Structure 1
């Protein structure tokens, strides 16, 4: 399928020399009960009498081990306690409070997950250390099923380097050594619409076999009123077109999921683990849009009613085998399979000046595939933890859609009926080698190299076969230096080579038509000639650790992106948007992060914990004239401030978090620009502990319920067309009852 390039073999030479001339030993292999995602990994906790040097860093997931502080690779670890604190029902609401992480789109409705203010796929989302499969949605995961979230700022060779902005690794819950039963029941209300959710977790151990089963279900309704305006001003400053649209959207969502895990400790100390999850989701909504024109020509269609129904199913299963070898070496092999299916139906009716349109659109898609990988770790020489392995996968996407138009009346519109089908195959293979060198008590060095290749082929009944092949060689270097004379201060520096491959959908030259086509509401089409975006990155940080778990840190980053991809709009009789590679982009930023228990500075203070983070991001695209020639959708400023107060006299904990995301103007191209207003979101909660086993959690989400306003502009010699969208948001009430038995 792929041949390993000579550059990869050459890249191994300096690393081999480094190993050959080192002087002391450490093994850092991931323990049997933790995931395989750590860039450095230690021997299992039950390993047979390792050497003393190995024991020093042996149990990376054990109690008392602080991954953020002690791992050479830079990361932030979010615990399960932090994940469930606000009673969130989706992962996006959890992630928005993390340092440097922002969520695109309208508050409370979910959106693209971004790091360093970058969207459009620059952030890698992983499950248990593997890239999330095609067609998978994070909304299908319940926060109750997550053990921890790792925010990885700089790439490592073991994980995919398709992470220009960084990576977010979601680690699902594992079995425990003691029996546990936990039930959670909840309800929610937003804009007069109600929802319910429930989850049950069962864990136990029988001899050498331990298991865990998690199940969750959720159902709810929503109401989302939106409005938009469209104004054209000619080159003389006269308004020649002014339209306004209002949209009422109401719907319902339902989901159910189950996640079983089994761990089997074999007689020889090997470990066999099986973990799976199954999710089914159903979504329905009805939209009613009314358009009025106060100046200029009326659009083709004035009113539109549409009903949408979609069903999706996701199944994923993984099998992992860990085999212990002599001299504390270990072989870790895994295999996984996934199935994702989605079908949808859209029925719409549009009323025009002289014509009516009845349109039906049926779609069906599947994403099936498997993944495989392995890693060999061994302390070949002292003070080194060497790992080498492979990582690959295959996925096949099939998509079909049928569109039928029925038009009545006389006018310019003619029926556009389609029967489209296409399939795409994606092969991925990666090889990596990495080493962590404890040069001294003060300095540790992580060095690695990863070669990753992607081969995509697609064919359909409306276009010729397309093939796209790309590969990237990524050297990586990270260092951790503990400042002498201080037990609490340390410095990090990292140099990485990362990339962003175009996803299959953006490579396929299928055209999706808009109802009222314009420069600000264009058709969309893929580009089979897209190339990967390549980036060199520099990361640096300073960390100061306080007593009682507090931390103050500052981190800097710089990325230089080649073959930057932007969306261009052209007119070939209709306005169409298409992704294109367009030159060089540079992005940079600084992140401040603080976590401070008040009692760490005042012994008699109340039990108050403060959390705050602040990020500044900026960028420039050399092919776009300034000012504001930033990367599209980049968040220039984001911040969070949170407080938790645990009362001493009553079993009550109160807390809140205020998040801020700035937007502002962005010049996307010579003719295109966008604008967004700042977003402010306030979440508060109260937790009452009846007993150690029973809690009641009440939370208010989006308490400020600020409207979301954004606009897009297309300007040329004839004038400018501005489209402004306003989305109302609402306060969300969530109540959860939690009981362990």
Structure 2
């Protein structure tokens, strides 16, 4: 899939065409500070109207939409949301906005960045109230180049609630079971809630690896086939107590206090079994590798929030969020050669502790009839302690084992101030400007490397405008933001991360203490229009990313343990552009006479370019697909019977990388179906199946190395099996 200069020019022309209507209307609309204020409406009748009224175009995915396909898990629910991409498997799931992953999209939980080690599927889908999506940066969080995804959990219910949920499913013959209980009631002026979820998830991911090596002008000289099987058995209990209190004063002011806590404890047993055979050439060093891993993870998160609303509408809010998690790990790796003689016997015991404390204060106040001021401050202290002890058994005729005793300690301190002004310019025009100042200090130390200290001062300006011209032309929005992406602690600590078998396409990795943050300037524009029965959104974005973090591969033939080493570095400037079109609506007469049909469809085009690789055929950001299509529809079959189906598809992604490497991902698609039956109010049965017709995930990695005898080409094709997943869910009050 060769990318031509014409395609790049086309994408930028589309972005310019998308921006020009908003600019022209802005030029024609007079801006006067004495214009009458637009009445603020706190409750929107639909997510579409709320998105249209929000200056930043905040997209809200409600609870009903998330649960429309049954209890399929948060990752599957997010896959159906327009504009979002979910990649990976198991605990390695990643959510992308604009096709940009690798930390460009900020994932948040109730307004705070998710803690380290956070797993997307650790939040039960039933405990989520809504998902808020903002494209581009904001003064509330500058570390969001592509945008932010805020997961908002359910609050304490206002009415008496007693719900039970049961789910049973399977994937490739492995059981997927969960049971949930949700209780809540009002007690005077206070409300309380309690959520309990028990889960038993048994996953399996079979795969096939083909590793090829070609030397000089010769054809293939070696091919090794690996039959891989990864399994994961996760048993977890989640507890979510919450409480809120509200006191109304005589003058119309009010006090609010609330707490929201979550506790999750899980036991996970993972296994990785590799069986290798030489199809051509010499046999591999290990023909059999078996790795057993056992994890015990405890995560506790607590939040205390106080809010004071004055009679004039001004409000002051303070929140304190604490997180503590511990993961204990025990792993054993056994390897055998072609004669089944043991050549490796390693045992690794590890412990990782994460602690964080966030204190945030926010004040909002109207300044006259046309301005609303939002000012806030945040303080955060986060710490990660990790220990890793590796013992190896000496084996005859085998390489000497690596015995390691490593300890790491990383501390992050963050201080931020932000200011934002929402300005009602005229009845049809609103503007927003703001500034965020942030100071970050990191201190990483360990017993196997020198202490790494970094300090960063980040300035994030913001400017947005929303214009609603007369005559029913919809709403035009234009925004300019500056965001940042900080390196992960593992990216700056010079620690080695080693796979089971080190190769050119599966190298060891090490951190780089000289990494600088990535800085991005983003322009986001959109148009939203349509009537109540049909809603359109056309959005575009152009981002310039400086000091983009990339990988550099080095070959070290004299190092028996790390012959291939991958290190991150700042690789110059990158560009990313996107155009997205969404269409949603409903018909009173659907596919069945007298029964309504609702639909939501989207098409997104993505383009990116690394300037340092401009001479390559595909200088794209790795993992970004060129296009993505989604279609979701809900058809009522009868007053108590509803069917929902969703189709997701994306194109193949090809990206050249530094060190003569490339990564190609095949096109992916899948169909989700569900049937919901409601025999009585507040009782539901749901049968769902996801990933129907989905092809296997195929990733192809290539590397070229120059040797004295000529170039040597390495190629690995990973094929991961994707099987349908079905679930039967029951929900009822009692």
Asked if 1 retains the 8 angstrom alpha-carbon contact of 2:48 and 2:535, the reply is: no
Distance 1:603 1:511 in 2: 60
2:312 counterpart SS class: helix
Asked if 2 retains the 8 angstrom alpha-carbon contact of 1:628 and 1:665, the reply is: yes
Asked if 1 retains the 8 angstrom alpha-carbon contact of 2:35 and 2:427, the reply is: no
- CA drift of 1:253 comes to 1.1
Distance 2:503 2:92 in 1: 27
Q: CA-to-partner distance for each residue in 1:170-219, whole Å, 9 max, x for gaps?
A: 11111232212211111011111112111111121111111121111110
Asked if 2 retains the 8 angstrom alpha-carbon contact of 1:22 and 1:381, the reply is: no
Match of 2:303 among 312, 318, 325: 318
Match of 2:99 among 101, 111, 117: 117
Query: Is 1:362 paired with 2:361?
Result: no
- CA drift of 1:339 comes to 0.4
- CA drift of 1:528 comes to 0.8
Match of 1:170 among 151, 156, 160: 151
Query: Is 1:235 paired with 2:216?
Result: yes
Asked if 1 retains the 8 angstrom alpha-carbon contact of 2:549 and 2:570, the reply is: yes
Distance 2:242 2:530 in 1: 36
Asked if 2 retains the 8 angstrom alpha-carbon contact of 1:250 and 1:287, the reply is: yes
- CA drift of 1:571 comes to 1.8
Match of 1:420 among 384, 406, 420: 406
RMSD: 2.0
Cross-structure match for 1:145: 127
Matches within 5 A, 1:346-385: 346-353=331-338, 356-385=343-372
Distance 1:301 1:65 in 2: 57
2:501 counterpart SS class: coil
Asked if 1 retains the 8 angstrom alpha-carbon contact of 2:346 and 2:390, the reply is: yes
Cross-structure match for 2:604: 615
Cross-structure match for 1:404: 391
Query: Is 1:506 paired with 2:491?
Result: yes
Q: CA-to-partner distance for each residue in 1:241-297, whole Å, 9 max, x for gaps?
A: 111100123331111111111111236421111111111122112222111112223
Cross-structure match for 1:77: 60
Asked if 1 retains the 8 angstrom alpha-carbon contact of 2:137 and 2:481, the reply is: yes
* Bigger mean CA deviation after superposition, 367-376 or 220-229: 220-229
Match of 1:446 among 423, 428, 432: 432
Distance 2:659 2:469 in 1: 49
2:491 counterpart SS class: helix
Match of 2:294 among 287, 290, 309: 309
Match of 1:558 among 542, 549, 553: 542
1:174 counterpart SS class: coil
Cross-structure match for 2:477: 492
Q: CA-to-partner distance for each residue in 1:336-368, whole Å, 9 max, x for gaps?
A: 111011111111110025652111111110101
Distance 1:463 1:708 in 2: 38
Distance 1:506 1:383 in 2: 46
Match of 1:23 among 5, 14, 34: 34
Matches within 5 A, 1:338-737: 338-353=323-338, 356-411=343-398, 413-486=399-472, 489-548=474-533, 550-572=534-556, 573=559, 574-599=563-588, 606-624=595-613, 625-647=615-637, 649-717=638-706, 718-737=711-730
1:407 counterpart SS class: coil
Distance 1:65 1:723 in 2: 45
Cross-structure match for 1:43: none
* Bigger mean CA deviation after superposition, 629-638 or 295-304: 295-304
Asked if 1 retains the 8 angstrom alpha-carbon contact of 2:552 and 2:659, the reply is: no
Query: Is 1:253 paired with 2:240?
Result: no
- CA drift of 1:71 comes to 1.0
- CA drift of 1:546 comes to 2.1
In structure 1, the gaps of 5 or more residues are 1-20, 27-52
Query: Is 1:100 paired with 2:83?
Result: yes
2:155 counterpart SS class: coil
Q: TM-score, normalised by structure 1?
A: 0.90
- CA drift of 1:601 comes to 10
* Bigger mean CA deviation after superposition, 213-222 or 559-568: 213-222
Cross-structure match for 1:34: none
Distance 2:57 2:343 in 1: 58
Cross-structure match for 1:202: 183
Asked if 2 retains the 8 angstrom alpha-carbon contact of 1:401 and 1:421, the reply is: yes
- CA drift of 1:456 comes to 0.5
- CA drift of 1:410 comes to 1.3
The count of corresponding residues between Structure 1 and Structure 2 is 687
Distance 1:664 1:326 in 2: 55
Distance 2:91 2:71 in 1: 13
Q: CA-to-partner distance for each residue in 1:593-625, whole Å, 9 max, x for gaps?
A: 111102399997641111111111001001113
Distance 1:259 1:59 in 2: 27
- CA drift of 1:69 comes to 1.6
* Bigger mean CA deviation after superposition, 579-588 or 667-676: 667-676
Asked if 2 retains the 8 angstrom alpha-carbon contact of 1:25 and 1:385, the reply is: no
Change (3 A) 1:497 1:668: same
Change (3 A) 1:723 1:441: same
1:372 counterpart SS class: strand
Distance 2:248 2:674 in 1: 47
Query: Is 1:331 paired with 2:316?
Result: yes
Change (3 A) 1:650 1:264: closer
Asked if 1 retains the 8 angstrom alpha-carbon contact of 2:335 and 2:345, the reply is: yes
1:223 counterpart SS class: strand
Q: CA-to-partner distance for each residue in 1:20-51, whole Å, 9 max, x for gaps?
A: x943686xxxxxxxxxxxxxxxxxxxxxxxxx
In structure 2, the gaps of 5 or more residues are 1-31
Match of 2:268 among 283, 289, 305: 283
Distance 1:88 1:579 in 2: 39
Q: TM-score, normalised by structure 2?
A: 0.90
Q: CA-to-partner distance for each residue in 1:277-318, whole Å, 9 max, x for gaps?
A: 111122112222111112223222111111111121111111
Distance 2:313 2:633 in 1: 44
- CA drift of 1:326 comes to 5.9
Change (3 A) 1:64 1:594: closer
Asked if 1 retains the 8 angstrom alpha-carbon contact of 2:602 and 2:631, the reply is: yes
Match of 1:154 among 131, 136, 143: 136
- CA drift of 1:58 comes to 4.9
1:463 counterpart SS class: coil
Q: CA-to-partner distance for each residue in 1:661-700, whole Å, 9 max, x for gaps?
A: 2233210125110111111111100000101121100000
Change (3 A) 1:25 1:259: farther
Asked if 2 retains the 8 angstrom alpha-carbon contact of 1:355 and 1:407, the reply is: no
